[in-house]
Amino acid sequence: MYIADQTWPELGDYVAESSLAVVPLGSTEQHGPHLPLATDHLIAESLARDAAGKTGFLCTPTVNVGVSPHHRQFHGTMWVDAPQFRDYVESMTRNLAYHGIDRVVYVNAHGGNVQHLREVGRRLRDDGTMYAIEWMWDKSIPDLVTDLFDHPGPHGGPKETAMIMHIARDLVREDQLEDARDGGRTTFKGRDYREHGARTFYDAIENSENGVFGDQTDATPEAGATLFEAASDQLVRLLEWLDAQPIDDLLAPAHADPQPGERR
């Protein structure tokens, strides 16, 4: 159920019966010469809408701009600073709580958002507002990703390329796949850019001239469909599990005994 398509009385009927919402988040950032800047938010929204449609849970509009300053040197990349991103997502999520939602899954498709969504979830849980967790599609199916691709890459690689081939093939510049591979890095390990234990880089362009990693020529629409269905299935299972949990079991546990001030 997509929230913006509903009327307010219809949403009243929903929150009278259910208390879970799905919030898709991504980014608007470079994904090499072959993929659109919309890659992350297209994947997040498509998976969130699909899983919500299968389960009947509420899906919100997508947060399309995320924490992406590490791609800022590439034309068109948009970002918000981390504190503003956290505050915006938290404020929007508290809005859902006001209407009766007490559990949220952030359907995320951008690695730069992960730690900030985790922090927002902690804030909301610690003050007893609700239980909110971050879910990243490729982290839900890691074995499938490595089975399908020899060089999946962390950004703009064949896994994202295949997903966009499945979701919106007309947006993939298929004539640029070899250039994407040859102008970027096929493999990437964080230790490649460390000195004496210190991570010495901040921006993607420092590691890849065109900003992408992996062998994009391995991507196919068929592989994208396989990834999409597997990830959607994992998300459906997560939503159904979360819906079944008593809210008291999800919120922060009480302080260890003795309780503060108990012996005064």
Q: Which domains does the chain have, with CATH numbers?
A: 3-250 (3.40.50.10310)
Check if the beta carbon of residue 25 is closer than 8 Å to that of residue 66.
yes
Which amino acid, 140? S
How far, in Å, are 71, 128, 245, 256 from residue 261 at the CA level? 49, 21, 31, 12
pLDDT for 69 equals 96
Please state whether beta strands 58-59 and 103-108 pair in parallel, antiparallel, or not at all (unpaired): unpaired
Rounded to an integer, the average pLDDT of 149-166 is 96
pLDDT over 60 (residue 190): no
pLDDT for 116 equals 98
Q: Provide the phi-psi class of 197: left if phi over 0, else alpha when psi is between -120 and 50, else beta.
A: left
pLDDT for 45 equals 98
pLDDT over 60 (residue 28): yes
pLDDT over 60 (residue 2): yes
216 in helix, strand or coil? Answer: helix
Check if the beta carbon of residue 54 is closer than 8 Å to that of residue 89.
no
Rounded to an integer, the average pLDDT of 99-127 is 97
What digits encode the pLDDT tens for the residues 59-77? Answer: 999 999 999 999 999 999 9
17 in helix, strand or coil? Answer: helix
| Banded model confidence at residue 1, pLDDT cuts 50, 70, 90 | very high
pLDDT for 192 equals 67
| Banded model confidence at residue 258, pLDDT cuts 50, 70, 90 | confident
**In this structure, is the dihedral angle defined by the CA atoms of residues 64, 67, 71 and 73, taken in order, positive or negative?**
positive
pLDDT over 60 (residue 160): yes
Residues 6+ apart with CB under 8 A from 203: 69, 70, 71, 72, 73
Average pLDDT over the chain reads 95
pLDDT for 126 equals 95
pLDDT over 60 (residue 115): yes
Check if the beta carbon of residue 110 is closer than 8 Å to that of residue 66.
yes
Which of 130-144, 180-194, 198-212 reaches the highest mean pLDDT?
130-144
Residue 222 CA neighbour count, 13 Å, CB half = 3
Q: What whole-number percentage of the chain has pLDDT above 90? A: 89
Instruction: Write the DSSP symbol of residue 107.
Output: E
Verify cis geometry, omega within 30 degrees of 0, for the bond prior to 258. Answer: yes
pLDDT for 193 equals 74
Write phi, then psi, for 132 (nearest 5 degrees): -130, 130
